[in-house]
Structure 1
Amino acid sequence: MAHQFDDETLAGVLGHMNSDHTDDNVLIARAFGPGDAVVAARMTGFDGDGGDWVVTVVGDEATLRVPWPGGPISERREVRREIVALYDESCRRLGIEPRPH
């Protein structure tokens, strides 16, 4: 069973992703989901196995589950590492130069 993070961790990460990294959410959704048709994406949750997004594609919403690249995690500090890894892999898949971390 996947590790479940506490409400404070969930709120902190989701708040940060959905206010400071909206473009990264779209990038991840395009790379791991339905591609260029994605017009918006919002991170809605995560656990020790991966992250969850609601993806808007031309007016329709769908859910997207993306496993963590490094495998299962169980500590808050690992969440950032895995989201950065998703961002880097998204850039690689889409042929985009990643910004420095």
Structure 2
Amino acid sequence: MTAVFDDAVLRAVLHHMNADHADDNVLIARAFSPIPDVISATMTTFDGDAGQWHVITADGAEEVIRVPWPGGTITERSEVRREIVALYDAACMRLGIEPRAHS
């Protein structure tokens, strides 16, 4: 059964990703979206299996994508950051971009 995170955890992570890591959202969406030319991405939710983003393309098309966590299923709040960082690193690798250091 897929882990579901409570509303407070969802709100905190989504606020952080969308307020502080908007560029990372776009990078992840560009790397993993099946649709081309992503220009905007907002993380909308996540569960134990994947993160979900609402994406907008250069021609105005909108889509929702789910990207599985690289490390597999998670169940704990503390694992969310690790998996988002892993997605960011994998997106950089896929796109040929040097990732920034993580603190």
Q: Report the TM-score when normalising by structure 2.
A: 0.95
Q: Which residue identity lines up with residue 74 of structure 1 in the other structure? A: T
**2:29 matched to which residue of 1?**
29
Superposition RMSD in Å: 1.0
Unaligned runs of 5+ in 2: none
**2:46 matched to which residue of 1?**
46
- Could you tell me how far apart the structure 2 residues matched to 1:88 and 1:54 are? 20
Task: State the identity as a percent.
Answer: 65
**2:10 matched to which residue of 1?**
10
Q: Report the TM-score when normalising by structure 1.
A: 0.97
Using the TM superposition, give the Cα deviation of residue 60 of structure 1 relative to its aligned residue in structure 2, in angstroms: 1.4
Divergent runs of 4+, >6 A: none
3-state SS, counterpart of residue 96 of structure 1 = coil
Deviates more, 1:34-43 or 1:23-32: 34-43
Q: Is the 1:45–1:51 contact (alpha carbons within 8 Å) kept by the matching residues of 2? A: yes
Using the TM superposition, give the Cα deviation of residue 81 of structure 1 relative to its aligned residue in structure 2, in angstroms: 0.1
1:13-49 Cα distance to aligned partner (Å, 9 max, x none) = 0000000000000000000004650010000000000
Q: Is the 1:53–1:65 contact (alpha carbons within 8 Å) kept by the matching residues of 2? A: yes
Unaligned runs of 5+ in 1: none
- Could you tell me how far apart the structure 1 residues matched to 2:33 and 2:89 are? 15
- Could you tell me how far apart the structure 2 residues matched to 1:35 and 1:60 are? 9
